[in-house]
């Protein structure tokens, strides 16, 4: 999904299906490379850890993480720097959420 968003696949597909693919205005001019960008991962359980590993090894991404149940030492072993949520949202180029929905985190991400 991160690759699809970086390349605007969904938006481009919609425009192409509508016959608007020749219009240069439908594409934004910002198409980031993943290489050396920053990913923020909320939830460093088994899936969040695998995502971090793939992005570090495959794209040399800087990984910020938020997970109140993991120690800084364990995060550093994974190559993840633990930060608070405002820092994660402010410094990340992409954000991937892998937290279980609970009553405690129901409003973690707001408009």
Predicted pLDDT of residue 25: 61
In-domain check, residue 91: yes
Bridge partners (DSSP) listed for residue 40: 64, 95
Average pLDDT over residues 31-46: 88
In-domain check, residue 54: yes
- The DSSP secondary-structure symbol of 25 reads G
Average pLDDT over residues 34-48: 93
Which residues constitute the domain of residue 24? 1-31
What pTM does this model have? 0.78
Q: Output the CA angle 31-32-36, nearest 5 degrees.
A: 170
Indicate if 25 and 37 belong to the same structural domain: no
Indicate if 61 and 91 belong to the same structural domain: yes
Predicted pLDDT of residue 1: 80
20 or 84, higher pLDDT: 84
Q: Does 29 have pLDDT greater than 60?
A: no
Between the alpha carbon of residue 40 and those of residues 24, 77, 79, the distances in Å are 31, 17, 12
In-domain check, residue 43: yes
Q: Which residues touch 85 (CB under 8 Å, ≥6 apart)? A: 42, 66, 108
CA diameter of the chain: 52
Could you read off the pLDDT of 48-64 as tens digits, one per residue? Answer: 999 999 999 999 999 99
Here the tokens at position 46 are: 């088994």
Q: Does 78 have pLDDT greater than 80?
A: yes
Indicate if 76 and 44 belong to the same structural domain: yes
Task: Indicate which CATH number applies to the domain containing 62.
Answer: 3.40.50.720
In-domain check, residue 83: yes
């Amino acid at each position: 999904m991160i690759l699809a968003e970086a390349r605007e696949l969904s938006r481009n597909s919609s425009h192409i299906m509508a016959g608007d693919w020749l219009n240069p205005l439908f594409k934004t001019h910002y198409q980031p490379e993943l290489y050396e960008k920053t990913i923020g991962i909320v939830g460093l359980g088994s899936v969040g850890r695998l995502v971090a590993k793939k992005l570090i090894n495959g794209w040399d991404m800087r990984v910020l993480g938020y997970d109140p149940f993991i120690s800084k030492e364990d995060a550093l072993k994974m190559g993840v720097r633990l930060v608070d949520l405002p820092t994660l949202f402010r410094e990340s180029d992409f954000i991937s959420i892998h937290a279980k929905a609970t009553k405690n985190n129901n409003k973690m991400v707001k408009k």
